[in-house]
Amino acid sequence: MLRTYNNVDAGRISIYGSSNGSGMVNRLLIELDGAAFQSAACSVSQMISKMYHDGSFWHNAAGNNTYDQTIVPARGRRILSISGTADSIIP
C-alpha cells in the first residue's frame, strides 16, 4: 500500500478520479477506512443510486455489483466533486 513507503506522509494522502475513475473514487470513499486517505476529488461522474439510497450508503462486499450491504463511510474526509450544470446525462 502507498502509505508504507518511507517518502509518503500517510496522514496527507489524497486521491483523484475523472469519469470512470471518479466512480472508483466514490466507491473508495464509501468502502475504505479513514486511514487509507484523507482527501478526495471527483470529476465528471457522480455516485450511482446503488451506492446511496433509502438514507444509507451501500457497498458491494461480494464483488458482483449487487450493493446489498449497508456501510457507514469514514468521517472527517475532505471531498470535492466537480460536475457541469449543462450536463444532459447527469443533471
pLDDT digits (tens, 9 = 90+) for 18-54: 989 999 999 999 999 998 999 999 998 888 889 999 9
Domain ranges of the chain: 2-77
Element (H, E) at 81: strand 78-82
pTM: 0.84
Q: Please, which contacts does 19-22 make with residues 24 or more away whose CB atoms are closer than 8 Å? A: 19/43, 19/44, 19/45, 20/45, 21/45, 22/46
Reported as a pLDDT band with limits 50, 70 and 90, residue 91 is low
- For residue 16, the SS3 value is strand
* Ordered strands of the 56-59 beta sheet: 52-53, 56-59, 69-71
Q: Average pLDDT of 9-16?
A: 93
pLDDT, residue 90, reads: 65
Instruction: State how far the Cα of 15 lies from the Cα of 73, in Å rounded to an integer.
Output: 16
